[in-house]
Amino acid sequence: QFTQGHVKDYQMTAWLMAICLNGMNGVETAALCDAMVDSGEVMDWSSCSSICKDVNNLHKVDKHSTGGVGDKVSMILAPLVASFDLVVPMMAGRGLGHTGGTIDKLESIPGYRTQYSSEEFAKLLLTTDGSDDRLNAAIVSPSKDMVPADKRMYALRDVTSTVSCLPLQISSIMSKKIAERPDSLVLDVKFGLGSFNKNVEESLQLASGMIETGELCGINTTALVTRMDSPLGYAVGNWLEVKECIEIMSSKEAALSELSADLVNVTLALAAQMLVQGRKASNLRDGVVKAKENLHNGKAWKKFRDMVSAQGGDVDTIDFPEQYAQAQFSAQVRSSQTGYLESFNSLEVGLVGVNIGAGRKTVDDPIDKTAGILFHKRPGMHVVEGDVLATVYTERDDQLANAVQRILDSCTFSDAQIELPPLITNFVTNEGVEDFDQSIFDE
């Protein structure tokens, strides 16, 4: 009714405010989510039986992150999970404010296409190149015809201070994922300085609500709750993040930089749970072992190259990343003291990224694909006064000095060696919340 004009904006605004004031229970939130999904196109996998006879027997699994700084997990995760013959129909967004967007990052690869209809998207995932090897993974923008109610409702929420309302958050996030019609979904729900949720309690509440909605809508849904106090990995900025992912996927395990250890562990944990839900691993520990093997034996890298090629991207660019044009201006951030690095404030780092051109303040702002920050030291490491902590890259020369100072000011130091808090704190299912088992990463 709303998208067809039978419900006016002022009526919808009043209803949204009523939800904010009175709340919704789980069944009501799921019903809203279902109605939002039904407002537009949905993925119709059965219509693809002509190109893939067993399409209804293929397990479709996706992942959603609530967003952060340096969060480039999807670019590794989608091809990694697809290398196990699971279908990963990943729809991703653009960056806004301090958080980056996977679509912006992938579009830094020349020619990479992100706009597909739902029918084209399904065919892209399921078509083979003449062999039995389906693509299985693709990362695209949501079709403009999917969940049109959410776009209009969000515009009203944005100007009526109802963006933070939990049932509306849940229905907005989950409607776009449910429209993909996956069999299962794994959520990466973040908390901390660089997250929209500042404490773990807020993230647990959001995770539990999204899981309940997913399950009521018939999708097996679980969540990992992860910390976002410092940027994830060593790169922040569109092409710089793609390049870090290329390095991880194309390197042997022994050659991996310790600067990417946090990124790799979050990716492995999410991949492991997707493998469990896709019945490719018996438990989380088994999933980590299997995911780690395919990450380092070249199978994930092959899938990533196949994905880039299938979506029109220039494969030479990812095969020879060192040839990519570098930003015209750069400057180093040097440590002002000796000690142990505790953290980089990820919110401040993300805001610096926006100012140097790597992000956008409004949806219409252009972005600089080469702008960003590379970190040469990570939290927990010992540094000496004068050590290079990071390098800032930009086309905006007038922003360099300010960016360098703000990155330095975002650092906290300790005189004594520190033990970093766990990056992944909780595992959440429809049965409840438990502490995440850190030992699954042990050899």
Which is it for strands 372-375 and 61-65: parallel, antiparallel or unpaired?
A: unpaired
121, 382 contact by CB (below 8 A): no
| Catalytic site residue from 64, 94, 190, 243 | 64
Helix extents (H) in 199-327: 200-216, 238-250, 261-277, 284-296, 299-310, 315-319
| Catalytic site residue from 71, 150, 188, 368 | 150
Q: Based on the residue annotation, tell me whether 151 is a catalytic residue of this protein.
A: no
Which is it for strands 235-236 and 137-140: parallel, antiparallel or unpaired?
A: unpaired
| Catalytic site residue from 157, 177, 280, 378 | 157
| Catalytic site residue from 83, 118, 171, 172 | 172
Residue with tokens 């912006």: 104
Q: N- to C-terminal Cα distance for the chain?
A: 55
Q: Based on the residue annotation, tell me whether 113 is a catalytic residue of this protein.
A: no
Residue with tokens 């539990």: 208
Q: Based on the residue annotation, tell me whether 172 is a catalytic residue of this protein.
A: yes
Closest CA to 140 of 163, 152, 123: 123
Closest CA to 158 of 75, 96, 244, 76: 96
| Catalytic site residue from 60, 72, 176, 378 | 176
Tokens linked to 226: 């992860």
Q: Based on the residue annotation, tell me whether 150 is a catalytic residue of this protein.
A: yes
Q: Based on the residue annotation, tell me whether 157 is a catalytic residue of this protein.
A: yes
Exposed/middle/buried for residue 54 (C-beta within 10 Å: 0-12, 13-18, 19+): exposed
For the annotated catalytic residues, the residue numbers are 64, 150, 157, 172, 176
